[in-house]
Amino acid sequence: STNDLARMLRNNTARQLGLMAVNTRFTDGGLPYLPFSTMKEDFCLLTNESSGLPCFLAGDSRVSEQPGLTAFHTIFVREHNRIANNLRRMNPNWTGEVLFQETRKIIGAIEQKINYKDYLPLLLGSTMPRVLPRYTSYSDSVNPGASNVFSLIFRMGHTMIQPFIYRLVDGYRTSASLPPVPLHRTFFNTWRVVREGGVDPLLRGLIANQAKLNRQDQILVDELREHLFELFKRLGLDLGAINMQRGRDHGLPGYNAYRRLCGLSQPRNESDLATVLRNKQLAQKLISLYGTPENIDIWLGAVAEPLITNGRVGELLACLIGNQFRRTRDGDRFYYERPGVFTPAQLRSIEKATLARIVCDNTRITEVPRDVFKANGYPDNFVRCSSIPALDLSPWRRRKSGAELEDPPV
């Protein structure tokens, strides 16, 4: 985010506390919501002007795009403030700036741990040791920036989106007062969070309902393919078409160019493509549209591949995703596992952090699965929050004020 946006996201009326700004108009049963945006052009007001509720404000402008995104932004802001308050009690001599920056550093490390240790192994499956091996060291010769192609192909997450937003009450039960809502009716609808139960029902729905499985006969649901942003556009948009057009706008090469880059076979004809996709009918359709595998749009070709063993992407996506996350990690001198970024005791605490515990600490949800990324059906594999290890902040007690802001060795 820009410096101006970063300032807007902080609690500037109590800056000495090191907190993030929260909503001053509404609370989630006493727990904070994100602050509202003050943008003049507000999509949330366009979808329901009578609600009078603008979009939420976060570091990512898409925070209100759908309620699931809102829920996760919200619990991480709550987690920041929870940690900052605990650090202030442990270290009353710390300034607000030290509290904010040290908490920000901890949150960043937790997010890295969750992504690299909990999420990516499930996504990349059997290819993980090859495409994203264990961390060894920082290298200043590695470019950590996002590649052009990654910014497109990581939109493979669209293939995992269900056509409904599910809200569940205590006990992970459905309720007539919170029925499933078609996805397209939730886009930029802040009021569905504030007026319809808050964050907890959304998180329960995400935890207890499986992500959509990407199938070759249904890559995107019609909510995204026919009705995207329908509430404030004259016609619903097609997210698949947008993804492919973005690749063309950016001048990205076709499917085979990236198969070649990854050291994978490059199909030359319909028969070769059918072998790669393990699907003759799909290969026939693609060749009828593109004429040759060389011309297939990279996003479509990548998401059309069969899933790898124990993973949720095909072999080309696994290669490109692994390459990006490896560079992002190895070229980051502040990556949490790099010696000197955290003390050994602090690192041990961060390694125990889980998304399940963040949910427990920042909502009224009392039962969660130990691994919220895996498909879990209540009550199987669910435990009380008291069974989930809490984040131990004691290694941050009474450290020299300001020492946390020093750069690690280069």
pLDDT score, position 409: 44
- How big is the chain, counted in residues? 410
Q: Is 250 annotated among the ligand-binding residues?
A: no
CA-CA distance, 265 to 271, in Å (whole number)? Answer: 13
pLDDT score, position 400: 56
pLDDT score, position 162: 97
Phi then psi dihedrals of residue 98, to 5 deg: -65, -45
Closest CA to 359 of 344, 376, 337: 376
CA-CA distance, 174 to 167, in Å (whole number)? Answer: 7
pLDDT score, position 1: 66
Q: Coil, strand or helix: which one is 95?
A: coil
The answer for 198, left when phi > 0, alpha when psi is -120 to 50, beta otherwise, is left
pLDDT score, position 403: 45
Residues of the chain with pLDDT under 70: 1, 399-410
* Superfamily of chain region 3-117+342-405: Haem peroxidase domain superfamily, animal type (1.10.640.10)
CA-CA distance, 375 to 381, in Å (whole number)? Answer: 10
CA-CA distance, 156 to 219, in Å (whole number)? Answer: 9
Q: Is 370 exposed, middle or buried (0-12, 13-18, 19+ CB in 10 A)?
A: middle
CA-CA distance, 372 to 363, in Å (whole number)? Answer: 15
